């Protein structure tokens, strides 16, 4: 009886499938545990400490550019935060700018004007077939050698200076609790957007104006309570360089131009392919309705093309985030460069690489989830 039951269970395809997967998972976990124990044992024999206690120690190294405030007396953990902030800033700005430029390139490739389509084709061919790191080094060399010294800086507009040290623009100096004001403003804007959406679901026709007025009043009250203040900061030449204002370094400029051009070439081809995937009958239907070419593109063709564009666009966005690690070639302090500096100072290579992997895995998962949500919104609904 028992043997018959065991035979019946084993004959179940579902049970065999689950048993095989459980065995593979057990082998995988066991391999990881063995590798971890073996690594810790070998490091202990060589008197190399393992752990994340070094994160609380002072970093004692400078970071030339940072989105958040930083000083060498801050901890290694905060240095990692600064690197993550720079990586997120570069990735977001590159993705946004490359998408806009890629849209223009994709439309130019389909243009009837031979010169416009030819120039776009040469741009795509040249950029896609050149390694990204070579392009970054080219733009960095151009930014640091082709421009004049600070004393002879280009001065195209009042308080705007361009030299080998970077681009200097008028800026704003904030005082007071800036982080509290930024967090409170973000919370107010999110609450206002949620309120407008709920009011529209309830049938309110024009709820945006009162919500905007209430949000503006709440932000002004928040600025008064946090003591936030702003003052203009203008760049001026002091000694061998400029001081004051806002500075865009040559490293940042080279990285942005290289990433944007490289990514835009791929995005342009993705957009062109997506538009070409829509049947010509859709264009003819738009003309039959009396719509212009632009109206037909934006209202009929592009919504259908998005179903083809978004999946490969997701891959390209993920590649842009990962390509930001090449910033170390031009010296921009993104997370990879900060990790390398920390490893040189502490010797905690395994822990630092684990943090690097975890950060990029998290960013990649977030980008994938966002783009999958967009893809689900544009997908055809089948019943």
* 302: nearest Cα among 167, 127, 152, 103: 103
Residues 319-334 have a mean pLDDT of: 91
pLDDT of amino acid 145: 84
* CATH code where residue 358 lies: 1.10.3720.10
Average pLDDT over every residue of 242-252: 81
User: Are 222 and 253 in a shared domain?
Assistant: no
Domains in the chain, number = 3
Domain co-membership, 156 together with 179 = no
Kindly indicate the confidence band of residue 171, based on its pLDDT and cuts at 50, 70 and 90.
Answer: confident
In terms of average pLDDT, the best of 46-55, 190-199, 292-301 is: 292-301
Cα 343 from Cα 357, distance rounded (Å)? 15
CA distances from 25 to 9, 15, 20, 224, 361 (A): 21, 15, 9, 57, 21
In angstroms, the CA 85 to CA 269 distance is 30
Q: Please compute the mean of the pLDDT values over residues 293-306 and round it to a whole number.
A: 86
255 and 123, same domain (yes or no) = yes
Residue 171 pairs in a beta bridge with: 233
Question: Of the segments 99-108, 166-175, 374-383, which one has the largest average pLDDT value?
Answer: 99-108
User: What is the percent of the chain where pLDDT is above 90?
Assistant: 32
**pLDDT > 70 fraction of the chain, expressed in percent and rounded:** 89
Model confidence at 329: pLDDT above 70:
yes
Per-residue tokens: 308? 């083809």
Same structural domain, 30 and 132 = no
pLDDT tier at 312, thresholds 50, 70, 90: very high
* 125 and 177 both lie in a single domain: no
CA distance 82 to 255: 17
User: Model's pTM, two decimal places?
Assistant: 0.79
User: What is the extent of the structural domain holding 186?
Assistant: 171-233
- Residue 131 pLDDT > 90: yes
Domain check: are 149 and 11 in the same one?
Answer: no
Pair of tokens at residue 369: 């989830």
What integer best gives the mean pLDDT of the chain?
Answer: 84
pLDDT at 135: 94
Does 31 share its domain with 89?
no
Within this chain, do residues 80 and 30 fall inside the same structural domain, yes or no? no
pLDDT digits (tens, 9 = 90+) for 188-206: 888 878 777 777 777 665 5
- Both tokens assigned to 19: 């048993």
pLDDT band at 364 (very low <50, low <70, confident <90, very high): very high
User: Based on the domain organization, do 281 and 365 belong to the same domain?
Assistant: yes
For 223, the token pair is 């600025």
Distances (CA, A) of 350 to 21, 128, 354: 29, 34, 6
Assess whether 207 and 265 both reside in one domain.
no
Is the pLDDT reported for residue 99 higher than 70?
Answer: yes
Give me the mean pLDDT over the 175-196 stretch.
74
β strands within 51-188, DSSP E:
154-157, 160-163, 166-169, 171-175
User: Based on the domain organization, do 143 and 286 belong to the same domain?
Assistant: yes
In which band, very low, low, confident or very high, does the pLDDT at 86 lie, cut at 50, 70 and 90?
very high
Residues 6+ apart with CB under 8 A from 172: 230, 231, 232, 233
Question: Is 60 exceeded by the pLDDT of residue 316?
Answer: yes
Is-contact 267 313, C-beta < 8 A? yes
Closest CA to 333 of 269, 277, 217, 251: 251
Residue 328 lies in a domain: yes
**Residue range 33-43, pLDDT digits in tens:** 888 788 777 87
What was the pLDDT predicted at 121? 92
Q: What is the mean pLDDT of residues 288-298?
A: 85
How far apart, in whole angstroms, are the C-alpha atoms of residue 36 and residue 42? Answer: 10
Residue-wise pLDDT tens digits, 220-240: 777 777 666 666 777 877 877
The residue ranking higher by pLDDT, 195 or 358, is 358
The rounded distance, in Å, linking the Cα atoms of 261 and 74 is 35
The band of 6, judged by pLDDT with boundaries at 50, 70 and 90, is low
For residue 147, the 8-state DSSP code is S
In a domain, 57, yes or no: no
Q: Determine contact, residues 371/313, Cβ cutoff 8 Å.
A: yes
Q: What is the pLDDT of residue 179?
A: 63
| Domain termination site, one of 185, 205, 233 | 233
Q: What is the DSSP-derived secondary structure letter of residue 313? A: H
- Whether pLDDT at 212 is above 80: no
Q: Does 71 map to a domain? A: no
Report whether pLDDT(381) > 80.
Answer: no
**Is residue 50 situated within a structural domain?**
no
Look at residue 264 and tell me if it is in a domain.
yes
Q: Does residue 239 belong to any structural domain of this protein?
A: no
**Is residue 10 a part of any domain in this protein?**
yes
Whether pLDDT at 380 is above 60: yes
Residue 334 lies in a domain: yes
pLDDT at residue 278, rounded to an integer: 87
Q: Are residues 269 and 223 in the same domain?
A: no
């Amino acid at each position: 009886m028992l043997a018959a039951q065991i035979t019946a269970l084993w004959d179940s395809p579902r049970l065999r499938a689950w048993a095989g997967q459980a065995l593979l998972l057990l082998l995988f976990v066991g391999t990881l545990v063995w590798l971890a124990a073996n690594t810790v044992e070998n490091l202990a024999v060589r008197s190399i400490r393992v752990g994340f206690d070094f994160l609380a120690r002072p970093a004692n190294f400078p970071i030339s550019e940072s989105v958040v405030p930083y000083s060498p007396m801050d901890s290694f953990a905060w240095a990692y935060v600064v690197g993550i902030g720079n990586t997120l800033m570069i990735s977001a700005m590159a993705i946004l700018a490359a998408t806009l430029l890629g849209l223009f390139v994709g439309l130019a490739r389909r243009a009837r004007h031979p010169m416009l389509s030819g120039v776009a084709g040469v741009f795509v061919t040249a950029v896609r077939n050149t390694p990204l790191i070579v392009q970054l080094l080219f733009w960095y060399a151009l930014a640091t050698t082709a421009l004049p010294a600070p004393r002879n800086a280009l001065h195209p507009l009042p308080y705007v200076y361009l030299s080998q040290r970077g681009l200097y623009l008028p800026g704003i100096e904030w005082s007071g609790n800036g982080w509290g004001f930024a967090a409170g403003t973000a919370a107010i804007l999110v609450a206002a957007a949620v309120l407008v959406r709920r009011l529209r679901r309830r049938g309110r026709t024009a709820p945006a104006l009162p919500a905007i007025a209430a949000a503006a009043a709440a932000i002004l009250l928040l600025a008064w309570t946090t003591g936030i203040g702003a003052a203009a900061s203008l760049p001026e030449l002091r000694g061998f360089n400029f001081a004051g204002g806002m500075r865009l370094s040559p490293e940042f400029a080279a990285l942005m131009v290289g990433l944007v051009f490289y990514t835009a070439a791929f995005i342009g081809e993705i957009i062109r392919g997506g538009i070409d995937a829509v049947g010509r009958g859709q264009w003819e239907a738009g003309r039959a309705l009396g719509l212009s070419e632009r109206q037909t593109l934006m209202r009929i063709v592009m919504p259908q093309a998005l179903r083809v564009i978004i999946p490969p666009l997701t891959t390209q966005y993920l590649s842009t985030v990962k390509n930001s690690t090449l910033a170390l070639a031009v010296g921009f302090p993104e997370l990879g460069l900060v990790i390398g500096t920390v490893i040189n100072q502490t010797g905690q290579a395994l822990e630092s690489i684990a943090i690097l992997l975890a950060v990029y895995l998290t960013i990649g998962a977030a980008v994938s989830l966002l783009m999958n949500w967009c893809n689900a919104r544009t997908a055809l609904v089948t019943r």
